[in-house]
Every structure is written in C-alpha cells, then in structure tokens.
Chain A
C-alpha cells in the first residue's frame, strides 16, 4: 500500500471521531516549499476522546501503540501507529497548552488531500515552528518555504513569534537570502 493511501484512512478516522487535527512535518513544509521525501505522516491532534476510540476507528490494519513517548528536543508527546504492510508510520502529537502551539493550531487551514479534507498549518506557522526548533533539517525547510512564499507571508506575525523564541536574527538572515534570489 502506498504512503498516501495509508494517510486516507487516518483522515477518515479523525473526521469520523471529530478530533481536531492538523497535518504537520514534511507534508506541510513540502506544500509551501520544495518537496522532499517523508517517512511518516505527523499529525497534531486534540485528543478529546479516549485513545481506544482512535485505535478502533483506524481499524485492525493499524497498530496504535498505547505507550505515549516524549521527545526532549521538541518537548512533544506522541503516539505512533504502524500500518501492517510496509514501513510508513503515522505519528499523533498531542496538542500542547503552549501559547504558540495553541495559536498555530487555531490558525490552521483546510486543504484538499485527494478527495478528502486535511488541515495544515499556515505557511507563516511552518516557518515559525521550523525556526523555533532550528535543527539543520528545520532550517533547510524554513529557508525554502520563505524563498518560495516570500511576498505572500505575514512577516509581522513571523517576526513577532521568532523574537519570542530568540530566532529573529536567523529569520532576518533567511529573509535577506530569499530576497536576493527573488
């Protein structure tokens, strides 16, 4: 089964349970920047129902690990689901109380994913989140999103949050670089 085919029943389960969600990670940065391969689909979800209901809605072809894991780099907690065939994984990150995460989630936008609807962060929030974490791959993604989207971005919003996270200098450097090739 193809990777995008595996995402479809996940979207169906989230819609069925009416769990607020957004698709983040490479899927969203690909959409605003330049495409690269991804090994998993990362969702931020507001888990308003028991985990068992999500497992049931996903169906028997998914194995949802009930063990919550915590990532120290990004300070996020997640559940991982594996599809029975193949190595593509689904990760469900729990929406945090952090003010920025709440704001990013509130601003999410609906987009088509084949014949389904998916919610994704705005381009501005992809940039802010990538610069907030600032791992090498995040900076690579952020600079491409900025370069591709420059002229359409709400820079005041991005600058505000980057200043909050101490990333304003990095942002300005990437903006100068993007402007130089546009």
Chain B
C-alpha cells in the first residue's frame, strides 16, 4: 500500500512556493471550481462512452460514482 507521502506526490520547493503565491481568498474557492471542472469532464466521459444515455441518466451515474468515492474517502 502506498504511503501518504507517495499518494500526495513529491513535495518540491516549486510546488510549495506556487501554493504560497496564490491568494488565500482564491484558494478558498478553488476546491469548488475544481469540482465543477471534474464534473464537466465526467459528464462528457459518460456521454462519449454511451451516446444514447439521457441527461438524467448521466446525472444519476455521476451521483453514483461520487457517492462511492465519498464512502471510500470517508474511511481514508
């Protein structure tokens, strides 16, 4: 099993300095913005896998995947 350090990736000076340069108020909003971008990519991925699915089915599939991910995350 990978350690937390391995999962988190190498923590380089460049990576840390980039995080220091970003204003706090923007970083506070970043998680939501990244979520929106991820959902959009997931939406198009499901659409391209199954072109005949309806929008409601795509939303249901996204919710199913996220609920699974939440359960996994909750326990580490």
Contact = CB atoms under 8 A, between A and B. Distances in A.
B17 to A, nearest CB: 9
B74 A73 contact: yes
Contacts of A138: 76
Interface residues of A, number: 45
A71 B73 CA distance: 12
Contacts of B73: 39, 137
B24 A2 contact: no
Contacts, number: 120
B33 A136 contact: no
Band of interface residues on B? 35 or more
A39 B69 contact: yes
Nearest to A85: B59
Interface of A: 2-4, 7, 26-28, 30-41, 71, 73, 86-89, 111-114, 118, 120, 135-140, 143-144, 147-148, 177-178, 181-182
Interface of B: 3-5, 7-8, 11-13, 15-16, 19-20, 22, 24-25, 27-39, 59, 62-63, 66, 69-70, 73-76
23 contacts: A2-B36, A3-B31, A4-B33, A26-B31, A28-B28, A30-B27, A32-B24, A33-B19, A34-B19, A35-B30, A38-B34, A40-B70, A73-B74, A86-B59, A112-B28, A113-B29, A120-B28, A136-B3, A136-B7, A143-B4, A143-B11, A144-B16, A181-B12
